[in-house]
Chains A and B, each alone.
Chain A
Amino acid sequence: MIWRYDGSFEGFLSSVVQSYTDKTLPDLLTKSEVDIGLFDEILDISTNTKDALKLLHAIEKQLGEKIKEKIYHTFLCDDQPFENDLLRYIRLGFKEPSLLEMISHPLVYAIEEYQKRTLRTIHKMNAFSRFETLEDGTLYAQISPPRNVLPLMGGHFKKRFKHERFIIHDLKRSMALIYDGHSLELHNIHDYDLPQRSFDEEKYQHLWKRFFDHVAISERLNPNLQRSHVPLLYREWMCEF
C-alpha cells in the first residue's frame, strides 16, 4: 500500500497519526507522483492540522525539543525519500525513547544524516545567496536550493540586515521570505513581476567579478577543489560564475 500526502509538514504528521490509528505501516509514504506506479494501491492521507499539532506537542514533550528539531530538519531535506525513515523513526522514539540516542542504530544514523544535509545546505545558502539591490533599496535574492531551507534562512539574514528590507525568493518552490525592516514572513509567490534593479547594481556585480577573477593565484589553480566547495548546482544564481 502506498500512502500519499500533500507535501506539507502537517500532512506528513497526519500520516504518522494515521499509522497509529490504522495500526499499520505503508510500504511507501510519499508526496511525489513519480514514485507511484500504474497498478499501485494508493491511500490519500487527508491533512488534519489539529491532529498534527497534537502529535508535534507529544513529540516535544516526550522526546524533547532537540528531537523535534531533528524531525523538522529531516522534513526539510525534501529531495530525498526521507518519509519512510522518518515515519519509522518517530514510532521508534515513542516506543523506545532511549534508542534515539544510539547513533549506531541504522534508522537513527539515517535521520542524523538527513538533518546534516539540511544544515549543510542552510550553511551553503547563507554563504552563496546573492542579493541585488532594487530601485527602492530592497535587497533581493533568487535561489533554488536542493532542499527546502528557506524557512530556516531568515534568522541569519535578519541579524546582518537588521535595518534593511530584503526578499529571498525560492523559485523552485515558489516561496519567498520577506523582511520589511521589522518582521519576517514566509509567503507563497505564484505570480511576480521581475523587479527593477537599482542604477548601480550592474556596476557592483562587475566589480565583484573583477575581484573574484583576480584574487585567484594562477600558480595554484585547482578547479576540482573549487568545485568541491561550490558544486555546480549552487552556481546558478551566483553572479561571479
Chain B
Amino acid sequence: MTIDEKLTILTESAKYDVSCSSSGSTREENYGGLGATGTSGVCHAYSADGRCISLLKILLTNYCIYDCSYCINRISNDRPRAAFTPREVAELTINFYKRNYIEGLFLSSGIISNEDHTMSLLLKTLQLLRHEYHFNGYIHVKLIPGAAQELIIATSLLADRVSSNIELPSSKSLQLLAPEKTKEKVFLPLLQAKNYALENGKRPIGMSTQMIIGATPESDFEIMRLSDSLYSKAMLKRVYYSAYIPVNNDKNLPALNVPPPLLREHRLYQADWLLRFYDFKVDEIVNEEHPYLDERFDPKLAWALRNLHYFPIEINRAEKETLLRIPGFGARSVQKILRARRQKQLSTNDLIAMKISLKSARYFITVGGKQPEKTLMSYEALEYKLLALPKPLPTAQPTLFDHFASISGEL
C-alpha cells in the first residue's frame, strides 16, 4: 500500500477526534532541532468543515480489536484498514512541519494485537521524532487505556499533551456501548502520567479528554457536572465535546440519518468556557430544574434572564468579575472598559466609540446611572426582544477562542 493510500485511510479514521489545539505546552525539554512551541497555538489551515488544522491528526493504525458501537473503526465494521510504520509517521511530520503546514503531530491509534503493543508503537514514533529527528514541535498523543504504566510514563515524558477519551458521559452508557472500557480504565493512564510528574517534581503535562454528545441520553447537567469534576479533580486542561455523527447502524444509537447536534455542542462549549474563565458554577448554568442548556440563547444570557434581580450593572463601577457576567460582554470588551474608565467616566457614546457591542448588553447595564434601554423589562418581554436578534451561527469548534487565549487567561 502506498503512503498516499495509508494517509487517506488513517486521516479518515482520525477525523472524528475534535482536539487539534497546539497551545499551552509547558514542556521543559528541548530536543534541539526543528520546531518550537508557544503558549498560543497556531491554526495553519481550516478544512472544508471550518475546523482548525493545527496538527497532523492521524491514526497510527485503524486495525482494532475492540468493538465500540459508536466507533467507525470497530472490529465488526468492514472498512479498508492500514497501518503506518513509526518512521513513516515521523517523515510525514517533519516534512509537513518544514513546509509550515502544521504545528506538530496528533497521534492516536486503534488497538492492534493488544494494548501494550499499540502503546509501544506510539512510544517508538515519539522516540524517533524526538531523539533521531530532534523534532521540537508539538506532539499530542493518545494514551492507550490498559497499557503498562512504564510505557504510559515514557510516552508522556516525550509529549506536549496526552489524552484519553472517556467518549461517553456516564458509566452506564459506556457499559452499553463500549464494553471493553470503563471510566476508571480510561482515566488510569492520565492519572499515572500526572502522578509521575508530581512525584518527580516536574510540571504535569497538559491532559484532555473528549465526550460524544447526543449518542446517549445524558442531560447537559450530567455532562457539565462531569466536566467540572474533570477540571477540578482530575486537573484536565480541556474537555472536548463532539456532536455524535452516526457512523454505524446500531439499535442503541441514533439512526444513520440523524444530523449531528451541532448547536447543542456549541452551547456546551460556551458553558464550558463560562466554567473555566468566567467563574461560573455548574449549578448556575444547568441544574436539576434546568437540566438542558437553552438552545435559543447563549448560556450566559440564559443565566441573566433567570437572574434579572442581579441587574442592571453600572459599568463605571462594577468589579471585573461582575462585568464579565454581563451578557454580550466578552473578556475583550471588559478589558476595554476597565482601561478606558481609568481615564474618565464612560458614556454610552464612549462604549460605541470603542466598538463594544451593546446588542444584548444594553438591557442589563447602566452607564453613568442611566440605562441605554429605558426600563429593565420582564423575562417574557426581554426574551421576545432578544430572540429578534440575529442568531449567531453555530461554529464547529471554538477554535476562535484559542486565538484569544492570552486574553481570556488560558495557558
Question: Do they bind each other?
Answer: yes
| A contact residues vs B (CB 8 Å cutoff) | 98, 101-104, 106, 109, 123, 126-133, 139, 141, 159-164, 200, 204-208, 210-226, 228-230, 238, 240
Q: CB within 8 A of A212: which of B14, B16, B45, B336?
A: B45
> What are 7 residue pairs bridging A and B, where the CB atoms are less than 8 Å apart in the complex?
A104-B340, A127-B45, A133-B99, A141-B100, A160-B137, A217-B49, A220-B51
Nearest CB of chain B from residue A97's CB, rounded to whole Å: 12
Residues of chain B contacted by A220 (CB below 8 angstroms)? 49-51, 245, 260, 262, 396
A128-B44, A160-B35, A226-B46 given; A214·B396 CB < 8 A: no
Asked whether any CB of chain A lies closer than 8 Å to the CB of B217, the reply is no
Nearest CB of chain A from residue B180's CB, rounded to whole Å: 25
Q: Is the CB of B393 within 8 A of A139?
A: no
Residues of chain B contacted by A206 (CB below 8 angstroms)? 4
Nearest CB of chain A from residue B68's CB, rounded to whole Å: 18
Q: Is the CB of A229 within 8 A of B52?
A: yes
Q: CB within 8 A of A129: which of B43, B49, B100?
A: B100
Nearest CB of chain B from residue A144's CB, rounded to whole Å: 16
| B contact residues vs A (CB 8 Å cutoff) | 3-4, 7-8, 11-12, 14-16, 33-36, 42-53, 56-58, 92, 95-96, 98-101, 137, 245, 259-260, 262, 336, 339-340, 342-344, 346, 350, 353-355, 393, 395-396, 399, 403
Interface of A is mostly: helix
A106-B353, A207-B4 given; A131·B99 CB < 8 A: yes
Q: Is the CB of A215 within 8 A of B336?
A: no
Q: Is the CB of A109 within 8 A of B100?
A: no
A160-B35, A211-B7, A222-B49 given; A130·B57 CB < 8 A: no
A43 to B208, CA, bound (A): 62
Residues of chain A contacted by B92 (CB below 8 angstroms)? 207
A45 to B346, CA, bound (A): 40
Residues of chain B contacted by A240 (CB below 8 angstroms)? 45, 101
Nearest CB of chain B from residue A169's CB, rounded to whole Å: 14
Q: Is the CB of B344 within 8 A of A104?
A: yes
Please name the residue on chain B nearest to A229 by beta carbon.
B46
Q: Is the CB of A215 within 8 A of B16?
A: no
A229 to B399, CA, bound (A): 10
Nearest CB of chain A from residue B383's CB, rounded to whole Å: 28
A126 to B36, CA, bound (A): 13
Residues of chain A contacted by B96 (CB below 8 angstroms)? 204, 207-208, 211
Q: Is the CB of B353 within 8 A of A225?
A: no
Residues of chain A contacted by B95 (CB below 8 angstroms)? 200, 204, 207
Residues of chain B contacted by A226 (CB below 8 angstroms)? 46-50
Q: Is the CB of A131 within 8 A of B98?
A: yes
A114 to B72, CA, bound (A): 47
Please name the residue on chain B nearest to A123 by beta carbon.
B403
Please name the residue on chain A nearest to B243 by beta carbon.
A220
Please name the residue on chain A nearest to B16 by beta carbon.
A217
Residues of chain A contacted by B342 (CB below 8 angstroms)? 101
A160-B35, A216-B51 given; A130·B98 CB < 8 A: no
Nearest CB of chain B from residue A113's CB, rounded to whole Å: 8
Q: Is the CB of B35 within 8 A of A225?
A: no
Q: Is the CB of B245 within 8 A of A212?
A: no
Q: Is the CB of A127 within 8 A of B98?
A: no
Q: Is the CB of A159 within 8 A of B36?
A: yes
Please name the residue on chain A nearest to B42 by beta carbon.
A127
Nearest CB of chain B from residue A236's CB, rounded to whole Å: 14
